[in-house]
Amino acid sequence: MSQLVSLTRHNNVAVVTIDNPPVNALSPGVPEGIGEAIRSVAQDAAIQAVVIIGGGKTFIAGADIKELEKAAAPGGGSAGPDIHALLQQMEDCPKPVVMAMHGTALGGGLEVAMAGHFRVASPSAQMGQPEVNLGIIPGAEGTQRLPRLVGLAAAVDMCVSGKPVKAPEALSLGLIDKIIEGDLLSGAVEFAREKAGRPMVKTRERPVAAGDIAAILASGRAQANKTRRNQTAPSKVVDALEAAATLPYEEGWKKEREIMKECLASDQARALIHAFFAERAVSKVADIPPETRPYEIRKVAIIGAGTMGGGIAMACANAGIPVVLKDSEQAGLDRGIAAVRRNYESSVKRGRFSQDVMDHRMALIHPQLGYDGFDDADLIVEAVFENMALKREIFAAIDKIAKPDCVLATNTSTLDIDEIAASTSRPQMVTGLHFFSPAHVMRLVEIVRGKASSKEVLATALAIAKKLGKVGVVVGNCRGFVGNRMMIPYMREAQLLAEDGATPWQIDKALYDFGMAMGIFAVDDMGGIDVLYRVRQEAKHLEKPGRRQPLVHDKLYHMGRLGQKTGAGWYKYDENRQATPDPEVEALIENTAREAGIKRRAISDDEIVERCIYTLINEGARILQEGYAQRAADIDVIYLTGYGFPAYRGGPMWYADTIGLKKIYDRICEFRHTAGEWWEPAPLLKKLAEQGGTFAAGTAAGA
Ligand code: T1G
């Protein structure tokens, strides 16, 4: 056998073990090794049955996405790795082939399993077809075998949602035949032995339990449009499932391969595969060796029981980490804990987890007014009001209390980490942990590196982000770090567009239709107009004289229109916080523009999207050039996981590469002419555009 696949004998049962760490992907050599093992077993009279199992932490977790990435490259023109012959070979094996699944049997992993005659799984195993998350569809006959095992309706739901099912649900669906308690291998061998010589059915010869095919497919397409806005693979996967329900198997699997080939050649697939690897690359920081030992985090102390502090406390409790949550006032503490309780109660009500789980998590959060217990915390997170003097005072205080190897983190969203660190005797122990609200939900954490932040502290920040189930991205300590630094010009450009002639609602719809989770005016209303107002006031001294500034935002602030929290901001809100365009705001914008001598004009949605998204790209290029982000892909990950940028466009920098940097640079030069000095093209963008380069390759080569 190849070193990736081994064959052992347990008396009359053969065991084929796949060893391709870390996830037993179907990399080159694995399908071949399985095929060789099956051939050998089929000819071995001493063998009555076969078990196929994954070594290490999981069964096969899918095709090798690195291979898919190659196949998806422009001009690739393939449907990705083809294991049709292996699937047929396993299914035609004269001896029962039992698939023993643990961990995550996903994509090609489940497709291999479904070509077995039987499937068993450990209780915690999960299995599914998540291919739509990569902009593709199952390409190894999963859309043809799954409905033959679980029925058309369940197959449509699994393939469109991309969500895995746990072993108990898989058993009730008919996807597996037995859950093996205890040792999976011995249980599977025993199960296989029992099946030896008994009747067995080839999955491809099973009928599809379809029911009302048209209704099921229509509901699948509706689900795809509703939950996967603007994405093509989710509706394409329904087409492949339709083939399973309406065509003979021999035609159905070929139809699936055609559709897979189409999807794999799409910009969306390339973008989503990029996003998959980009999210996993962020934890690799050039000058932090992988062997850097992080400090162990057994206890966290949080200062500030507001929205952020409470959310961070929940994130820690959700990960099983005990937390002391301090506030300076009892009322603040009570409000904070009440908010935590409300959040957990709504999760219990929605069936996300049990009351016991909620009680356990609440018990992990200890509210208090003083610093008692801070002296044995491994991580202290300051999450108070955005005021430098207050933060410096707090860091000076905890500097006297915290143990020497306690990591001191600030959740500040814009203030200078180095200035905060300077108020301690241990700046090397200080870092930024910029969580995003709601902190117990949003996956992004910007790990803001101070000049003195040690490698161990940064390694600890990366480790704690992963432990909290978040994506930690190391960023530099410039104003607004990366995400917010790009948001400021993005928001400014949207406001200038509103004064130039587009309405806030037109702008928001154009950005929503582009794929942003929310329009920027709706975001401003949600976060609070006063928040952005204060940020802008703090940075007033940095404003370049003579540069055009938006005029309406300040007026809304002074009118007390602060957004959702006051029932009106850019939009007006009903008691359920439903937004409606406000003619009063439209009139205010028109009057303001007229008083400023701004000649308003009709503005197309295309221009809106270009001026907003290219602003992000231009600022991202400056951040890259100045070294505040390690790679373009890190900026993509920040925008995908923290700012609602559509993953099927890969992130702002990937999207720029897809559009072409020359085209973007030329368009920005036009805007420089028509929309003013804000449109100075970033030098890196200019350089790459002139070289015909890309951000992805350019920054990799350290342009
Ligand atoms: N191919 C290649 N590398 C993979 C991989 C895969 N399928 N899955 C994970 N990795 C790498 C990952 O890049 C990282 O590498 C390391 O493994 C640990 O990953 C034919 C066409 C399995 C739930 O979509 O969902 O099959 O950064 O950090 O948190 O029809 O990985 O260490 O160098 O995510 O424990 C379908 C994708 C593919 C599963 C484990 N399968 N993977 O999570 O580890 S398409 C998937 C995951 C397909 C068929 C079609 C998760 C995981 P590095 P990790 P984890």
pLDDT at 76: 76
pLDDT at 674: 84
Q: What residue numbers bound the domain in which 428 lies?
A: 300-477
Query: Residue 446 pLDDT more than 80?
Result: yes
Question: pLDDT, tens digit, for every residue of 256-280?
Answer: 999 999 999 999 999 999 999 999 9
- The answer on 555 and 438 residing in a single domain is no
- The answer on 208 and 112 residing in a single domain is yes
Query: Residue 188 pLDDT more than 60?
Result: yes
Query: Residue 101 pLDDT more than 60?
Result: yes
Q: Catalytic site residue 111?
A: yes
Model confidence band, residue 700 (pLDDT cutoffs 50, 70, 90): very low
Is the shortest distance between the CB of 80 and ligand 1 below 6 Å? Answer: yes
Cis peptide before 207 (omega within 30 of 0): no
Give how far Cα 210 sits from Cα of 2, 27, 148, 159, 239, Å: 41, 34, 9, 15, 14
**Residue 255 covered by a domain:** yes
CATH of residue 421's domain is: 3.40.50.720
Report whether 114 contacts 146 (CB < 8 A). yes
Gap between the Cα atoms of 480 and 535, Å rounded: 10
Closest residue CA from atom 53 of ligand 1 = 280
Gap between the Cα atoms of 573 and 556, Å rounded: 15
- The answer on 541 and 424 residing in a single domain is no
Active-site annotation holder among 131, 242, 499, 619: 131
Count of positions (residues) in the chain: 703
Q: Percent of the chain scored above 90 by pLDDT?
A: 92
**Averaged pLDDT, 610-614:** 97
Cis peptide before 583 (omega within 30 of 0): no
pLDDT at 701: 44
pLDDT at 1: 59
pLDDT at 702: 46
**Number of domains present in the structure of the chain:** 3
- Furthest-apart CA atoms within the chain: distance in Å: 93
pLDDT at 257: 97
**Averaged pLDDT, 112-123:** 98
Between 699 and 511, name the one with better pLDDT. Answer: 511
CATH of residue 95's domain is: 3.90.226.10
Gap between the Cα atoms of 261 and 135, Å rounded: 11
Report whether 368 contacts 324 (CB < 8 A). yes
**Residue 699 covered by a domain:** no
**Residue 701 covered by a domain:** no
Gap between the Cα atoms of 7 and 489, Å rounded: 60
Is the shortest distance between the CB of 280 and ligand 1 below 6 Å? Answer: yes
**Averaged pLDDT, 119-144:** 98
Q: Find, among 249, 159, 150, 156, the residue nearest to 209 by Cα.
A: 150
Question: pLDDT, tens digit, for every residue of 287-326?
Answer: 999 999 999 999 999 999 999 999 999 999 999 999 999 9
Is the shortest distance between the CB of 290 and ligand 1 below 6 Å? Answer: no
Question: pLDDT, tens digit, for every residue of 43-86?
Answer: 999 999 999 999 999 999 999 999 999 999 887 778 888 999 99
Number of the ligand 1 atom closest to the C-alpha atom of 281: 27
**Averaged pLDDT, 524-544:** 86
- The answer on 201 and 91 residing in a single domain is yes
**Averaged pLDDT, 433-456:** 96
Q: Catalytic site residue 250?
A: no
- The answer on 136 and 34 residing in a single domain is yes
Is the shortest distance between the CB of 698 and ligand 1 below 6 Å? Answer: no
Gap between the Cα atoms of 339 and 309, Å rounded: 11
User: In the sheet that 430-435 helps form, which strands lie side by side, from edge to edge?
Assistant: 365-368, 323-326, 300-303, 379-382, 407-410, 430-435, 444-448, 471-475
- The answer on 351 and 241 residing in a single domain is no
**Phi/psi at 7 (5° precision):** -125, 125
pLDDT at 535: 82
Question: pLDDT, tens digit, for every residue of 459-514?
Answer: 999 999 999 999 999 999 999 999 999 999 999 999 999 999 999 999 999 999 99
pTM above 0.75, yes or no: yes
Question: What's the CA-to-centroid distance between 654 and ligand 1, angstroms?
Answer: 21
Q: Find, among 503, 512, 460, 494, the residue nearest to 616 by Cα.
A: 494
Question: What's the CA-to-centroid distance between 524 and ligand 1, angstroms?
Answer: 36
- The answer on 306 and 237 residing in a single domain is no
- The answer on 103 and 142 residing in a single domain is yes
Question: pLDDT, tens digit, for every residue of 212-259?
Answer: 999 999 999 999 999 999 999 999 999 999 999 999 999 999 999 999
- The answer on 520 and 473 residing in a single domain is no
Active-site annotation holder among 111, 499, 607, 610: 111
- The answer on 156 and 89 residing in a single domain is yes
| Residue 344 amino acid letter | Y
pLDDT at 598: 95
pLDDT at 263: 97
pLDDT at 19: 98
pLDDT at 699: 52
Is the shortest distance between the CB of 54 and ligand 1 below 6 Å? Answer: no
Q: What is the dihedral of CA 558, 561, 566, 570, to 10 degrees?
A: -160
- The answer on 421 and 539 residing in a single domain is no
- The answer on 318 and 189 residing in a single domain is no
Gap between the Cα atoms of 140 and 25, Å rounded: 14
Helices (H), 285-387: 307-318, 330-349, 355-364
